[in-house]
Amino acid sequence: MFGYGEKVLLLDAKRRRYLFTLKRDGEFHTHSGCLNHGSVVGQHEGSVLRSTKGAEYIALRPTLEDFVIQMPRGAQVIYPKDLAPICMIADISPGAKVFESGLGSGALSMTMLRYGAEVTGYELREDFANRAQINVREFLGIGALDRYHVSVRDVYQGISEIGFDRMVLDLPEPWRVVAHAEKSLRRGSILVSYSPSIIQATKMHEALGEGWLDHRTVEVLHRTWHIDGASVRPDHRMVAHTGFLTSARYVGEN
């Protein structure tokens, strides 16, 4: 059952989604009326609630995907269609020691933390670093911050820590980090870089010299389908390009 302090996702009749935290004396308002937060508390997931104007809402607990799409942000986030492939390509797993730079609003951080990794993050902007930590705490709880170590630092100037299993970058010039990565990653580790431009991906490939294996760049496309009885076809819209994922495995120079 829902309780105060929890997040709730409401779906209206048109399946529009509303995400908020349940608070004492809190109220949810739309043009369809008001819904007291107290009327959600004690209800089970899937319960149907009615506003003061009779509008119906289905109450659910938000998924990570829901939160990433609707969470407060300071920077553009990496969207779910890329978050899952990044974690698969980087082989993020419980206990993995991950270095991340370019935290943005924390979407990738919270996904990797959800996978059980320990994340060390460098972020150049203090406001982005703060926003990322707030979003992680809001969705995963304050305990997740024990595995999330954020510094306001310029990764292009170097990385102090060593022994990382994985490195994930979302930066304008990720190739400038390769030399630092070679000092901070253990042998056999994996690096993944997210870049909006193919020019960025090309420069990243060029920077991955001797000691790097299995270079590849992939682009993930997302297309939904319309299925209604005998009417089955691709939807008219799809999410095509968002970014390129460039990865490689570091084995060191022989």
Strands 7-11 and 17-21: antiparallel
Question: For residue 184, is pLDDT > 70?
Answer: yes
User: What is the strand order of the sheet 17-21 is part of?
Assistant: 17-21, 7-11, 56-60, 48-50
CA distances from 25 to 28, 40, 128, 173, 227 (A): 10, 12, 31, 48, 42
Q: Would the pLDDT of 76 be above 80? A: no
**CATH code for 66-250?**
3.40.50.150
Taking only the tens place, the pLDDT of each residue in 22-34 is 999 999 999 889 9
CATH class of 7-62: alpha beta
Mean per-residue pLDDT over the chain, rounded:
94
Query: Tens digit of pLDDT for each residue in 146-156?
Result: 999 999 999 99
Q: What is the largest CA-CA distance in the chain?
A: 72
pLDDT value at position 240?
86
Cβ atoms 62, 23 nearer than 8 A = no
Q: How far apart are CA 118 and CA 108, in angstroms?
A: 13
Distance between CA 223 and CA 7 in Å, rounded?
A: 29
Q: Is the distance from CB of 232 to CB of 207 less than 8 angstroms?
A: no
Q: Where are the domains of the chain?
A: 7-62, 66-250
pLDDT of residue 153: 97
> Which pTM was predicted?
0.89
Strand 212-219 and strand 244-250: pairing?
antiparallel
Beta strands 185-195 and 244-250, pairing class: antiparallel
And the tokens for 99? 């270095």
Question: Which has the higher per-residue pLDDT, 254 or 242?
Answer: 242
Question: In the chain, helix, strand, coil percent, each to 5?
Answer: 30, 35, 35
